[in-house]
Structure formats: structure tokens, C-alpha cells
Amino acid sequence: ANAELVKGDYQKALDLFIQARKIFEKVGNKTMLATTDAMIAETSSKIQPVPTQTLPLSPTLILIPILLVVAIIGGGIGFILIRKRRNKNNYI
């Protein structure tokens, strides 16, 4: 089973580990039974396809940069207009 595992044939290795587990169960070797269970679990996890990680694209992540740009532009324009008004009323 380990040879199949090294080759990358996980399904065949899993079948062999299951057969070995049945033998160890009949013989009553609990140590090897636990080891075989661990190998079965590890091999099973390798057989299952790993889901591809997709970046969650929430509307909030899209809106934050847009609102940030609008706020910066609005703040700059507002600052310029307020300075112009103050300078017009200054007769000193």
C-alpha cells in the first residue's frame, strides 16, 4: 500500500489499506489498526478534490475604494472653494 501511495495511485493504496485494516481487525492488533485508520484517513483526504480558493468579491470591497476616491476629490474641491470665499470677503 505504501508503494502505491508513493507512486501516487491513491485509490489503489486506499483499497490496500482497507484490506490491511480488515486483517488487523481479525487478528486483533489494535496498534496496527490505529495506524491503518490514520493512513486510510490521510489517503482519503488526498483522493478528495481540493476546492479552488476563490476570492470573495463582496460589494463592500468594491465600494470602499470608490467612496475613498470620491471623498478625497470632494474634500479637495471643497477646500479650494472655501479658501476662495474667505479670500473674497477679506478686505484688510
Give the model's pLDDT for residue 88.
66
Other CB atoms within 10 A of residue 20 CB: 17
35 and 70 housed in the same domain: no
Give helix 30-47 / helix 10-27 axis angle, nearest 10°.
Answer: 160
**SS3 at position 66:** helix
pLDDT digits (tens, 9 = 90+) for 8-45: 778 888 888 889 889 988 888 888 888 888 888 888 88
Segments forming the whole domain that contains residue 89: 54-92
Asked if residue 92 has pLDDT above 60, the reply is: no
67 and 84 housed in the same domain: yes
What is the sign of the dihedral through the CA atoms of 76, 80, 81 and 82? positive
60 and 42 housed in the same domain: no
Q: What predicted TM-score, i.e. pTM, was given to this entire model?
A: 0.46
38 and 73 housed in the same domain: no
Give the model's pLDDT for residue 75.
92
**Mean pLDDT for all residues in the chain:** 80
